[in-house]
Amino acid sequence: MNPRLRRIVILLLVAAALVWSQVAHRGGKGDAELAVSAVAPDELHMGSLTLEPCDIGRRGNGAPTLRAYCTGFDVPENHAAPDGRHIKLRVAIVRAEAAQAEPDLVTFLDGGPGGAATEDYPSIAGAFEPLRKQRAVLLVDQRGTGGSNALACDDEKKEQADARSKSAGGPPGTEALRACLARLAPHAAPQYYATTDAVEDLELVRRALGAPQLDLIGVSYGTRMAQQYARRYPRGVRTIVLDSAVPDTLALGSEHARNLEDVLVALFKRCAADRGCSMRYGDPYATLQRLLERLRAHPQQLTLRDPFTFRVQQKTIDAGVLTQLVRLYAYSPYTAALLPYVLAEADAGHYEPLLGQAQVVIGDVSDSMTGGMSLSVTCAEDVDRLKPNPADAHTVMGNAIVDWLLKACPQWPHGERPAGFNDPLTGAVPVLLLAGERDPVTPPRYATQIARTLPRSRVLQVKAQGHGLLAVGCMPRLVDEFLRKADAASLDARCLDQLGDTPFFIDANGSNP
């Protein structure tokens, strides 16, 4: 693989894997913060909690880390049985720069479901820098993720169990789920790890911190968490930012195939209308269909180097890996611009770049998203409303996600969706919704639907952008202004109009001049 392209791909795809459209790079201000931390207090006292200096972030492969203040917070695993088993939540505070900070806390609610706030925050910390001038940031790893009793199993053992399941003729992953549950049993009961349980956790943390009001900033699945918390505890919420929002009325997974298909069709139509792209690649959608058919019939086994460790390894690429890769590329306009190039290379028999990039994307998602917690959420809240859609059968994704969930959830212990869970959020809380025009997961119509029942809300639809908008263009400044004024209607968002299409990669060196 071309070294220059490899460097570009690794930088871009880490952003896509974390379901953000851009990774916000920390500049001189971040370095200054690290220097100040050497003389920062040894403890931070908020409410009844004492937090100590810590490093937050995901270690390895050059991922950024930050200094913060952390503590373990005790909660009942089953809130209905407080005398039963308890678990620890990882709670972190990133201090405000001001000596006298505002009393409300900016609260980052991670996506997924399965992302851990303290692990993912450093990668988008730049988007929060304007907010931190006057406000501290609260990070709570949602139960079942990160440092909060993660529902994670050993990947190698899961792969071995999955292979046994396939050899026995069972559904893919059947044995892996059983093996995972056996490993979790000593310390976790997965039926208590859904959104409603996490809402109660967040309220207990807020009270322990002295009951400040929260400025909720939810991304992707985190927007469900924000809406559910605001419904249950409206007095605890000052403002809400919903980035790439999921309506409470939606069953997660029900529209993934159609949403991705719409974005891919539009992307490849744009390539056809671009002279350089169309001359170089012809019809990328036809190329993708040809590749999927070929890989369904003949998965490719390749010898290549790991993109991080550079060790030689044997890997297989099949239609499922290609589908995951295409979906994750579509999250960001920068990675989407690479799709015609990598598909054409694979179609010419050069699978190594495609598989190497798949390892970067899919491997990083596996590291950052806790699969067990995702099942606990989806099986409790969505699966009873899912069924295969014949209209999706011929899309790139098809009904694979729905089929998998319908097989997995009967085996995975899960709770039930409480009454009113799917009701739209109402009330007078100020809400700012961010929507990417080309979001393959949560299209702008979702944000528009949520805003209908929120009289003090506003949707900022950003052209030519995908999934996750907190760090895009002037958005950090707009979000800061919204929190300061608690008024979405007064924002002058014309600065977002400067964003436009990302040129397609014509070869390994990038786009045409």
pLDDT digits (tens, 9 = 90+) for 402-441: 999 999 999 999 999 999 999 999 999 999 999 999 999 9
Same domain, 377 and 355: no
- Cβ-contact 431, 451 below 8 angstroms: yes
Residue 377's nearest CA partner among 114, 134, 185 is 114
- In angstroms, the CA 327 to CA 308 distance is 22
What pLDDT sits at residue 170? 39
**Cα–Cα dist 216/238, whole Å:** 8
CA dist 241 and 244 (Å) reads: 10
Q: How far is CA 134 from CA 13, 102, 120, 241, 339, in A?
A: 32, 6, 22, 17, 41
Between vectors from CA 169 to CA 167 and to CA 170, what angle results, nearest 5°? 110
Cis peptide before 113 (omega within 30 of 0): yes
What global pTM score does this model have?
0.89
Q: Which residue positions in the chain have pLDDT lower than 70?
A: 1-40, 60-62, 154-173, 307-308, 357-370, 513
77 is a domain residue: no
Q: What is d(CA 316, CA 346) in angstroms, rounded to the nearest whole number?
A: 14
**Cα gap 24→21, rounded to integer Å:** 10
Give the helix ranges, DSSP H, for 168-301.
174-184, 195-208, 221-232, 256-273, 275-281, 284-297
Half-sphere exposure of 451 toward its Cβ, with a 13 Å CA cutoff? 23
The per-residue pLDDT for range 9-50, each reduced to its tens digit, is 333 333 333 333 333 333 333 333 323 333 467 999 999 999
- DSSP secondary structure, 408-433, as one string: HTTTS----PPTTTTSPP-SS--EEE
SS3 139: strand
Looking at 368, 396, 416, the residue that finishes a domain is 368
Q: Read off φ and ψ for residue 241, nearest 5 degrees.
A: -115, 125
Q: Are residues 375 and 357 in the same domain?
A: no
Does one domain contain both 293 and 351? yes
For residues 266 and 347, membership in a common domain is answered with yes
Strand partners of residue 216: 107, 240
Structure tokens at 175: 């044995």
Q: Are residues 364 and 376 in the same domain?
A: no
Question: Does some domain include residue 193?
Answer: no
Number of domains in the chain: 2
Q: Does 388 share its domain with 355?
A: no
- Among 315, 240, 511, 289, residue whose Cα is nearest residue 398: 289
Residues 353 and 389 in one domain: no
Which residue bears the tokens 């169990």? Answer: 161
- Any domain includes 28: no
Q: Do 339 and 402 lie in a common domain?
A: no
- Residue 113 to residues 15, 45, 218, 420: CA-CA distances in angstroms? 17, 30, 12, 20
Residue 33 lies in a domain: no
Check whether residue 362 and residue 258 sit in a common domain: yes
Let me know: does 358 contact 329? Beta carbons within 8 Å. Answer: no
Q: Is residue 95 part of a domain?
A: no
Position 343 in a domain: yes
User: At which of 368, 389, 419 does a domain end?
Assistant: 368
Residues 390 and 302 in one domain: no
Residues 6+ apart with CB under 8 A from 347: 287, 290, 291
Indicate whether 355 and 377 sit together in one domain.
no
Q: Which of 169, 158, 121 is nearest to 141 (CA)?
A: 121
Per the domain annotation, does 469 fall within a domain?
no
φ/ψ of 122, rounded to 5, equals -55, -30
Structure tokens at 200: 């109660």
Domain range enclosing 300: 3-11+253-368
Task: Tell whether the torsion through CA atoms of 209, 482, 235 and 200 is positive or negative.
Answer: negative
Q: Integer distance in angstroms from the first to the last C-alpha of the chain?
A: 22
**Residues 352 and 378 grouped into a single domain:** no
Q: Considering 350, 379, 408, which residue would you say is the last residue of a domain?
A: 408
Residue type present at position 109 = L
CA–CA gap between residue 19 and residue 138 (Å, rounded):
20
3-state helix, strand, coil in the chain (%, to 5): 45, 15, 40
Residue 451 lies in a domain: no
User: Which residues, 6 or more positions from 125, have their beta carbon under 8 angstroms from its beta carbon?
Assistant: 24, 26, 30, 64, 66, 94
Contact 51, 92 (CB under 8 A): yes
Q: What is the spatial distance between Cα 363 and Cα 108, in angstroms, rounded to a whole number?
A: 24
